[in-house]
A and B are shown apart, each in its own frame.
Chain A
Amino acid sequence: MPKIKYIEHNGKEHIVDVPLGWSVMEGAVKNMIPGIDADCGGACACATCHVYVDPAWTEKLPAKEDMEETMLDFAQDLEATSRLSCQIKVTRELDGFTVRLPKSQH
């Protein structure tokens, strides 16, 4: 199983195994990593699973779809590598994938 690293806003790191095909959001929720709310459960409807992708990994991700792009446009504390983690599917290539979590999802 690919390992995903989540870094909380306070710097605390969590490295967890996430099954192939799951989203990066699900990996956080199922491992109780604080900082991702995911109110809608991954339907790209709430924008409460915002993460900052480690710049080393941005190239390895498929481009954002329109829906994600727009939802993010209005997110708080947007950065260049902001993504919605419910839209990032875990693949073999993402072993070691690293994200930072924002201060708040609201």
Chain B
Amino acid sequence: MTDKIVIVGAGQAAAQAIASLRGEGYSGAITLVGDEPFLPYQRPPLSKAYLLGKLERDRLFLKPDQFYTDAGIDLRLGVQATAIDRSARRLQLSDNSALAYDKLLLATGTRVRRIKVPGAELAGVHYLRSIADVDLLRPALVPGKTLAVIGGGYIGLEVAAVAIKLGLEVTVFEALDRLMARAVSPVLSEFYLAEHRNAGVKFQLKTGVEGFVGGGRLSAVRAGGAEHAADLALVGIGVLPNTEIAAAAGLSCDDGIMVDPYCTSIDDPAIFAAGDCTRHHGRDGAVLRLECVQNAIDQAKHAALAMLGRPTPYAEVPWFWSDQYDLKMQIAGLSRPGDDLVLRGDPTGRKFAVFHLRKGRVAAVEAVNAASEYIVGRKLITDATPVSAERLADTGISMKQIV
């Protein structure tokens, strides 16, 4: 009989797990441990509307305070979980207290990958993952200042779009030869490069950053053998899963806490994990780690059911989005090298989609300002419907006719 659940990490997965546990009728104790001083909040707007100053902090929170009161949650915020004693089923906290658990949910998320070059500790070098990060960065986004964005991924490009809108000079430094290379196909990389250039963003592709220069405060970025003047820098070079306490407790980790299809640790039936911190089985059998809202929400639902002794396998189709300028990118599914790419629509019309076909079925869809391609694509992936590349490419045939 489970009567004490402890959740480590107070992000999107934690909020969903609490809602699901209570929604499924669990009436035992729940303790929420989070190292930030905040209740669970949405991270996606941090690099978009919140950075732009268009969304107040209050509006970031996933649930109102009352939700946690009503749910009877013991909140331990601003405290770090430091060790798991699996044999005693106790969690050690940084304030020297400890919590006994029957079931432990690790929803520890990720942290930013820090750049390891000379000068990286200079004032003016920023990262973006938390409310605190944005509250530091936003006042520095002063019109006329020069911003160096290190890394041409989602975070870097979303910040570039905001900063150019606010009247800064922006240059993006990307080590690879195209933007968002890890996440999207070359057609989208090219399209977004052109859009950002039109907006006034400058790019240094195939240019790794060698160091930051300045006397106490950043004054330039050294990259590609040259010095580029910069008043501030935003480093967006990816994240690392927070697996340390899991690994130290002997749980298998490999760039993520290893879980089975039920979001249960492969080593300990009393420990569960959900969200960005997990390495799990995707619906096509591949073992992977995802960084997205969908995965946090859906794994939290499955972890909650597993904790209550009603495990169901996680097989949802992943989905992602990114807002840059007036462009809405929506992605569903997971592409792989070797997929056949089908372009539908014309990027110059700023509305198009790329379908990734594998064995005659849609494995992934990337849509830009193309909601029906996204929605129908998602359905085609879920249902594993056989499709013809010719029909998908033909904009004369509506997506509704294809489904």
Q: Could you list which residues of chain A lie within 8 angstroms of chain B, going by C-beta atoms? A: 22, 26, 29-32, 39-41, 43-47, 66-67, 70-71, 73-74
With beta carbons under 8 angstroms apart, the residue of B61, B293, B371 that contacts A67 is B371
- B residues 26-45 with Cβ under 8 Å of A? 42, 44-45
Cβ contact within 8 Å between B294 and A73? no
Q: Are B294 and A39 in contact (CB under 8 A)?
A: yes
Q: What is the 8 Å Cβ interface bit string for chain B, positions 290-327, against chain A (1 contact, 0 not)?
A: 00011001000000000000000000000101010000
Q: Which residue of B lies closest to A75 (CB)?
A: B375
B45 near A41 (CB under 8 angstroms)? yes
B129 sits at the interface (CB 8 A): no
The answer to whether B59 and A43 touch across the interface, beta carbons within 8 angstroms, is no
A residues within 8 A CB of B360? none
A-B contact pairs, 25 of them (CB 8 A): A22-B59, A26-B59, A29-B62, A29-B64, A30-B64, A32-B63, A32-B70, A39-B294, A39-B297, A40-B44, A41-B42, A41-B45, A41-B293, A43-B44, A43-B321, A43-B328, A45-B321, A45-B328, A46-B319, A66-B369, A67-B369, A70-B372, A71-B375, A73-B372, A73-B400
C-alpha gap A39/B319 in the complex (Å): 11
A66 and chain B: residue at smallest CB distance: B371
Residues B376 and A67 in contact, CB atoms below 8 Å apart: no
Tell me the smallest distance from the CB of B80 to a CB of chain A, in Å.
26
CB < 8 Å neighbour of A74 from B64, B293, B294, B376? B376
Which B residues contact A (CB, under 8 angstroms)?
A: 42, 44-45, 59, 61-64, 66-67, 70, 293-294, 297, 319, 321, 323, 328, 330, 369, 371-372, 375-376, 379, 400
Give the docked Cα–Cα distance between A47 and B379 (Å): 13
- Of the candidates B62, B66, B67, B323, the one whose C-beta lies within 8 Å of that of A43 is B323
**Highest count of chain B CB atoms <10 Å: which of A29, A40, A43, A45:** A45
Interface residues of chain A: helix, strand, loop or mixed (majority): loop
B293 in contact with A40 (CB, 8 Å): yes
Contacts of B319 in A (CB 8 A): 45-46
Question: Given the interface contacts A70-B371, A71-B371, does A41 sit within 8 Å of B44 by beta carbon?
Answer: yes
Residues of chain A with a CB closer than 8 A to B42's CB: 41
A47 shortest CB reach to chain B, Å:
7
Bound complex: CA of A74 vs CA of B330, how far in Å?
Answer: 15
Distance (whole angstroms) from the CB of B294 to the closest CB of chain A: 7
